[in-house]
Amino acid sequence: MKISWRTILLWSLPALVIGFFFWQGAFSPTAVNMGSNTASTRMSYGRFLDYLEAGRVTTVDLYDGGRIAIVEAVAPELDNRVQRLRVDLPGNSPDLISRLREANINFDSHPIRNEGAIWGLLGNLIFPVLLIVSLFFLFRRSSNVPGGPGQAMNFGKSKARFSMEAKTGVMFDDVAGVDEAKEELQEVVTFLKKPERFTAVGARIPKGVLLVGPPGTGKTLLAKAIAGEAGVPFFSISGSEFVEMFVGVGASRVRDLFKKAKENAPCIIFIDEIDAVGRQRGAGIGGGNDEREQTLNQLLTEMDGFEGNTGIIIIAATNRPDVLDSALLRPGRFDRQVTVDAPDVKGRLSILEIHARNKKLSDEISLEAIARRTPGFTGADLANLLNEAAILTARRRKEAITMLEINDAVDRVVAGMEGTPLMDSKSKRLIGYHEVGHALIGTLIQEHAPVQKVTLLPRGQARGLTWFMPNEEQGLISRAQILARITAAIGGRAAEKVIFGDAEVTTGAGNDLQQVTSMARQMVTRYGMSDLGPLSLETQQSEVFLGRDLMTRSEYSDEIASRIDAQVRTIIEHCYEHACQMIQDNRIVIDRLVDLLIEKETIDGDEFRQIVSEYTNVPEKERYVPIV
């Protein structure tokens, strides 16, 4: 068992206190002064005078300034043997010396020594010394803790982690799905290793590179790869570590960081989440303060000020480039903005191949199928997906990951943990009709993505789910595809109305209605897909942040606002009527699918389409194209 020095000190204090008082008692002035002449038998002063008159006293030794006497006297009760006795003398006995001389008795007076004062002084110093020693160890220990009292004088020092050769264990071969970003960043590494290749033709490497992209796309991973490849001194720090509650601390840390970087040039400085310190100046709202602005001013000066920073390459990462100050983004500071976006299907396949290196996969696993099924997943999402599949495999005591674990992991990552299966009841049947309504309309409309599966197994807040799988990476979406999505999304509510009537519709379509309304409104106000014509009446909404408008202002008149509302309602009502008509026309197949769904709880997409094709024509949709 490991015992800290604080515990030892706390347990030692009571012993020290007891020992101190014992020490004080053992080395009292009286005991020290009398030394070995102490006597345990006491005699009263009156009896001492009687012995003195009877001539029985032989010697007298006076101690403590004449207040104590050690007497040798003949005791008649002890057969006239000599006995040493202690006598406490009164304070005023001036004639005692005269009487001793008259009786011709040997006496001696012993002076008071200062040993008692010395021991008393030492005893009084014990506790201050212990207190000082304790505080010394306390401050020494806290000096290793970031922000501790031992670092009160180091507020202005940079907290950047420094590596002479950053051995991160990550190289460019370990980063996939961001080929364009890797190509641009490899130029930085090449310049650091072979600068003459660029300087020979008059080229100048960018002073700063800003990595922009959603969370989880690999911005920090790219920085680690640069550090691992470059082989030069590497400083890494977060933007939030510059800002403190004390004015001037952030600017001081920026100066200290660049001072250290200049001493180790050429080098790389990586600033993660730079939006914490680089937000636009001058608004005075949204959490801004003078400390943050002064820190940004110092950062701008160090990056491209009067003195310059030759040999220092700054790499920063953020997922909010729109909030950064324009002076920070200009050429000379951040010359390049490298977009690190969510990977496409090829990128996802490459990422899966990297993360599958240390996973035991069964022969039936198709990484291409997983990449097809996970549009919009970032690198972090895919790593988490395979990790969740590996955890499920270990929990089920299997030797290798199968497609069952992959599918369950995808469902868990997207929709949440699987809940308790529903009991057979009216509620379960209603949910079944709701989900089959989504799936049937998505299957019968040509422009909609194919159904992957329909399930009644609860996940997260959803009591049932219908999964669709897009056939390709869709950068552009047509008007017909948006209308198809609206119709399929509202198909659950349409099924509830047609099957159970208006009185039995439930709140299960609440999220569907939100999506439907949002898509219809964007068709009218942003994409010009309505009778209002090709007009963009609204911009993409964003949160209030520094340097932007606090109050949203109307960009159109009240008349246009009424027409927008009317157009949105027209689009949704048209899709809703279309969905209800499709449900009525295919009532027989819907009943069969719901019975099968309640029995099996999950229907695969191929089986779903096979059953629907027995009753009506299912349009052919694009199949997967193999990844080249």
Q: What residue segments make up the domains of the chain, in order of their start?
A: 7-115, 161-339, 346-352+367-415, 426-543+553-613
pLDDT band at 496 (very low <50, low <70, confident <90, very high): very high
pLDDT band at 19 (very low <50, low <70, confident <90, very high): low
Q: Please check the confidence at residue 400 and state whether its pLDDT lies above 90.
A: yes
pLDDT band at 595 (very low <50, low <70, confident <90, very high): very high
Give the model confidence (pLDDT) of 339-360 as tens digits. Answer: 888 888 888 999 999 999 889 9
Q: Is 435 a catalytic residue?
A: yes
Q: CB under 8 Å to 436, separation ≥6 — which residues?
A: 454, 495, 590, 593, 594, 597
Q: Please check the confidence at residue 161 and state whether its pLDDT lies above 50.
A: yes
Residue range 103-111: average pLDDT?
76
pLDDT band at 541 (very low <50, low <70, confident <90, very high): low
**Fold (CATH) for 426-543+553-613:** Methane Monooxygenase Hydroxylase; Chain G, domain 1 (1.20.58)
Higher confidence at residue 203 or residue 490? 490
**The pLDDT value given to residue 12:** 55
pLDDT band at 521 (very low <50, low <70, confident <90, very high): very high
Give the model confidence (pLDDT) of 57-80 as tens digits. Answer: 888 887 776 778 788 887 777 677
Among the listed residues 435, 447, 472, 555, the single catalytic one is 435
Task: Indicate the CATH number for domain 161-339.
Answer: 3.40.50.300
pLDDT band at 413 (very low <50, low <70, confident <90, very high): confident
pLDDT band at 426 (very low <50, low <70, confident <90, very high): confident
Task: Measure the CA angle with vertex 396, ends 392 and 397; round to 5°.
Answer: 115
Q: Please check the confidence at residue 197 and state whether its pLDDT lies above 50.
A: yes
Task: Measure the CA angle with vertex 602, ends 596 and 604; round to 5°.
Answer: 95
DSSP code string of 224-287 = HHHHHHH-S-EEEEEGGGG--SSTTHHHHHHHHHHHHHHHT-SEEEEEESGGGT-BPSS---TT
pLDDT band at 556 (very low <50, low <70, confident <90, very high): confident
pLDDT band at 107 (very low <50, low <70, confident <90, very high): confident
Higher confidence at residue 491 or residue 53? 491
Give the model confidence (pLDDT) of 220-261 as tens digits. Answer: 888 888 888 877 888 888 888 877 655 567 788 888 888 888
**The pLDDT value given to residue 49:** 80
Most confident of 317-321, 420-424, 518-522: 518-522
What share of the chain has pLDDT > 90, as a percent?
23
**The pLDDT value given to residue 244:** 65
pLDDT band at 130 (very low <50, low <70, confident <90, very high): confident
Q: Please check the confidence at residue 275 and state whether its pLDDT lies above 80.
A: yes
Residue range 299-308: average pLDDT?
78
CATH number assigned to the domain with residue range 7-115, chosen from the 4 options 2.60.120.260, 2.40.30.10, 3.30.720.210, 3.40.640.10: 3.30.720.210
CB neighbourhood size of 394 (10 A): 12
Q: Are 307 and 273 in contact (CB under 8 A)?
A: no
Phi, psi (rounded to 5 degrees) for 105: -110, 135
pTM score: 0.68
Omega before 266 within 30 of 0, i.e. cis? yes
Most confident of 368-382, 466-480, 534-548: 368-382
Give the whole-angstrom CA distance, residue 499 versus residue 23. 96
Residue 103 forms beta bridges with which residues?
Answer: none
Higher confidence at residue 108 or residue 471? 108
Q: Please check the confidence at residue 584 and state whether its pLDDT lies above 80.
A: yes
Q: Please check the confidence at residue 5 and state whether its pLDDT lies above 60.
A: no
Higher confidence at residue 460 or residue 377? 377
Residue range 193-219: average pLDDT?
85
Q: Which among 366, 373, 351, 375 has a CA at the least distance from the CA of 177? A: 351
**The pLDDT value given to residue 180:** 83
pLDDT band at 128 (very low <50, low <70, confident <90, very high): confident
Task: Indicate the CATH number for domain 346-352+367-415.
Answer: 1.10.8.60
Average pLDDT value for the chain: 79
107-111, 132-136, 148-152, 359-363: segment of lowest average pLDDT: 148-152
Q: Please check the confidence at residue 464 and state whether its pLDDT lies above 90.
A: no
Q: CB under 8 Å to 341, separation ≥6 — which residues?
A: 178, 213, 214, 217
Q: How do beta strands 208-212 and 161-163 pair?
A: unpaired
pLDDT band at 202 (very low <50, low <70, confident <90, very high): confident
3-state class (DSSP) for residue 219: helix
Whole-Å CA distances, 362 to 359, 365, 406, 536: 10, 6, 11, 51
**The pLDDT value given to residue 583:** 94
**The pLDDT value given to residue 27:** 43
Do 7-115 and 346-352+367-415 agree at the fold level?
A: no
Residue range 155-161: average pLDDT?
59
Q: Are 491 and 435 in contact (CB under 8 A)?
A: no
**The pLDDT value given to residue 165:** 64
